[in-house]
Amino acid sequence: MKILANDGISQSGIDALTANGFEVITTTVAQEQLENYINENKIVGLLVRSATKVRQNLIDACPSLKLIGRGGVGMDNIDVEYARNKGLHVINTPAASSASVAELVFAHLYGMVRFLHQSNREMPLEGDANFKGLKKNFAGGVELRGKTMGIIGFGRIGQEVAKIAIGVGMKVIATDAFMENATITLPFFDGRAIDFDIKTISKEALLKQSDFVTLHVPAQKKYVIGKTELAIMKKGSGLINAARGGVLDEIALVNAIENKHIKYAALDVFEKEPKPEIQLLMNPGLSLTPHIGAATQEAQDRIGTELASQISNLLK
């Protein structure tokens, strides 16, 4: 049986599938050519990440397909219910990349509060001629310890963010549409662990109290953070979106930065991927990454082996 990993899969995933008798194809097929490729090669399993779209027309046109797998959490690029109603298995790996996304959030946070995203741009240009000037410009950093981290969406990734925040010494507050409280278990290197009980609060209360807000929600039909929500946030606070493009009003964010209401902002996802708005790319106040939240070697290994395990259980 042939599996097409159209957006790639780790070698560990390939090895696990091959060991179970599957043929794994890692050719990247253009979206408009996908239907023909699947049918010509009698592909039974299609694995995607965020780039490839699996809509109703593709599902209807490819009778050999028995399974669609998403390497990651969100499945907004797949018509999930339609596929399942047609008898296909639809799987994902919701827990595999949580720690990687959470660490990227803090990579952005530490970089922003010490102006690393700006310093790394300007030091190569002016470091020799304007060292003292740059030192003065970037000398007003702040510490994360003691600050309040507000987490919007308290699922697996949100809870991983909370663990790091607690370890850093931050106060953690959270809001979630489907959860009233959660117990966070923070493990330590010596085998000990401490539980923290966190009761969720309203989004408005969170925005008013937080020094930094991070988004960890699925794709939405409307903005979770727009002009109104940004206005509620503390003056001089920070915002990170490593969830999904479209949950944050990017134009309103740029305006809030230019008006100096929001001091720090980081984006790993964008409304118009893979061509983000130029005003975002050129704004020196933004810390930017190209949707790499799950792109660590460890996460990709976990994703690959987890997909392989599910596929083997479902199709063998």
Taking residue 98's Cβ as centre, other Cβ atoms within 10 Å add up to 24
- Residue ranges per structural domain of the chain: 2-93+297-315, 98-288
pLDDT averaged over every residue in the chain: 96
Q: What is the pTM of this model?
A: 0.91
The predicted structure's pLDDT at residue 10: 95
Please give the CATH topology (third level) of the domain spanning 98-288.
Rossmann fold (3.40.50)
Taking residue 12's Cβ as centre, other Cβ atoms within 10 Å add up to 16
Q: Please write the tens of the pLDDT for every residue from 111-148.
A: 999 999 999 999 999 999 999 999 999 999 999 999 99
pLDDT band at 17 (very low <50, low <70, confident <90, very high): very high
* CA 213 – CA 207 distance, rounded (Å): 7
Residues recognised as catalytic: 244, 273, 291
Q: Write down the CATH number for the domain with range 2-93+297-315.
A: 3.40.50.720
Q: Please write the tens of the pLDDT for every residue from 256-289.
A: 999 999 999 999 999 999 999 999 999 999 999 9
> Residue 58: is its pLDDT beyond 90?
yes
Answer yes or no: same fold for 2-93+297-315 and 98-288: yes
